[in-house]
Structures are given as C-alpha cells and as structure tokens.
Amino acid sequence: MQTLREAMTKNLKTVPHYVTVQETARRMQAEKVGSLLVERGGQIVGIVTETDLVRKAVAKGSDLSKEKVEAIMSAPVSSIDIHRTPQDAHDMMADLGVRHLAVTDAGKIVGLLSVRDLLVYFKRVSEPRITQD
C-alpha cells in the first residue's frame, strides 16, 4: 500500500507570524511555492496560501506592507497521518475544500501535501501513460 511519504514535500517552508503580507508573497516567489507554514514560538500555528493572499488581503485592499501574515493565515492547519494513502488525502482535501494538508507522524508535522503533489504522484503511478500528439 502506498503512503503519503511518496507524495509529500519533506522540505517545509515557514514564515514567522509577524512578517508582512508583502514579505510573505516575496518569500513565496523566491521559494517558488504556493504556501508557507506560519510559525510562532517554534510552533506551526497556521498556513498561508496564494489564495489567502488574494482573497484576504489583496481583494480587501489591505496595505500589504503593513498587514501581518498572521491576520490572513488559515488556522488551524488541516492535517493527515503519514500512514494514510494518497487517495485518503485526495478525499480529505475534497471534503474540507482545501488544497494543502500538513502530513503528521505521531502528531508532529513532517511534510506538506498539496493538490499539485497529488497530481504528480497520481500521474507517476497511473497506467497507461497518456501522451500528447
């Protein structure tokens, strides 16, 4: 049985809770990621995604150079145990209406799983391969 270990991103990208939305967007751009885990006091307290940036800051006309990421993050972070399957993660994302799940092992976040990670995983394991003409 396949577990999430094969699909998740292990290199966690974080941002402190006190940074501005503008700095957070710059960090996402530099890291080439669509989300960052938000840290406070060494603990993960939320997640900020591109969708959060657009819907909770840009669309509302917030001053991106002053608004703190903590004000727009999604919390708590939805999570799934590492021993679950990619199909379980897919179903959970659909049920919760989220595009990212923290992957936990014994309650500790050890990875992050995005919809894109699942697409890549399912493409890799699917048969037959479909090619473009």
Q: Which domains does the chain have, with CATH numbers?
A: 4-125 (3.10.580.10)
Phi, psi angles (nearest 5°) of residue 18: -95, -5
Rg of the chain over CA atoms, in angstroms? 16
Least confident among 8-17, 33-42, 68-77, 115-124: 115-124
Single-letter amino acid code for the residue at 113 = L
The residue-averaged pLDDT of 11-38 equals 97
pLDDT of 131 above 90: no
The confidence score (pLDDT) of residue 60 equals 94
What confidence tier does 70 reach under pLDDT thresholds 50, 70, 90? very high
CA distance 19 to 22: 8
